[in-house]
Structure 1
Amino acid sequence: MNILDAAYATVHDHHGGASALAPRLGIKSPAVLNSKVNPNTETHHLTLLEASKLMALTGDYRILQTLCAEHGKAAIDLPDIPESQRDHSLMDTFVRIAIQKGNVAQTFHDMMADGRITHGEALDMSKVIHELHVLLGTLATQVQACIEKN
């Protein structure tokens, strides 16, 4: 599935389809929304804000998941930690760590693809590992700061 198909499915699989979603998205008519998600239409397109609002309204994240898959990334649900709702920077750091872990894995995969490790590949690996260490240190500091606030 590509992101255009995912957008189409998100609208058309939702109860009430474009008729129910268009007004909630601030789109003038269901026909316009249908055009925006029609993979064969070249004149109308969903904006990023509309796609984000569409996912929030429907609870359907196929657009996000497909976009991530096309770029070799993964979208995951964040843990529901009530205490963290007060500190969005803590959650942001947690998400950045997850992304960086993926970068480490991708760099390792690329480095090992031909069965040998070059000097440049070793430097690239050191860089992404260092970036992960920095983020882990940031998280440790932020967690400690949360304890000190209480």
Structure 2
Amino acid sequence: MNILDAAYNTVHDYQGGANALAPRMGIKSPAVLNSKVNPNTETHHINLLEASKLMELTGDYRILQRLNAHHGKVAINLPSIPECRDTALTDLVLNFGMGGGDIYALFKEMMADGRITRGEAIDMSRVIHSLHEILAELEMQINKCVEQ
């Protein structure tokens, strides 16, 4: 499935389809929404804000998943910590996720020729060290939330 198919399926698999979603998205006509997600339509296109709203309303994240897959990335659910609404926690989790993506790309590149050089090992050590720092800070912040 590609990104356009994901948008089409998100609308058409939703209970009530475009008829139910168009008014909730602020789109005047279900036909317009259908055109926007139709991969064969050249004149109407769903924009980023509409795609985001569509995912929010439906709880269907196939568009996001296909975008990530297209770019070799993944999305993770952020933890819900109702006792502590500190945005620093969210930032730390996102930083770790982004750093984790770097380690996967670096590992793939490092293993491409079937051997590991001294320079590649040093580069990997730097990324691992950075992730250790992020995890240590995350642990500290989580423990602060519990103590409050």
- The normalised TM-score by structure 2 is 0.85
Q: Does 1:33 align with 2:27?
A: no
Structure 2 unaligned residues grouped into runs of 5+: none
1:123 CA drift (Å): 4.8
SS of match in other structure, 2:5 = helix
Following the alignment from structure 2 to structure 1, what is the Cα–Cα distance between the partners of residues 105 and 73?
10
- Report what 1:111 is aligned to: 110
Q: Identity of aligned pairs, percent?
A: 67
Q: What RMSD in Å do the two structures reach over aligned CA positions?
A: 2.1
Aligned amino acid, residue 68 of structure 1? N
Shift of 1:33: 0.9
TM-score (norm 1): 0.84
User: In the alignment, residue 99 of structure 2 is paired with which amino acid?
Assistant: Q
Distance (whole Å) between structure 2 residues aligned to residue 79 and residue 145 of structure 1? 16
Question: Structure 1: which 5+ runs fail to align?
Answer: none
Equivalent pairs, count: 148
What are the superposed Cα offsets for residues 87-142 of structure 1, whole Å, 9 maximum, x if unpaired? Answer: 12212311321332232122112201211234553454244324323422432443
Over 3 Å counting, the alpha-carbon distance change for 1:77 and 1:147 in structure 2 is closer
Distance in 2, matches of 1:129 and 1:42, equals 46
| Stretch of structure 1 that moved more, 39-48 or 50-59 | 39-48
* Runs of 4+ displaced beyond 4 Å: none
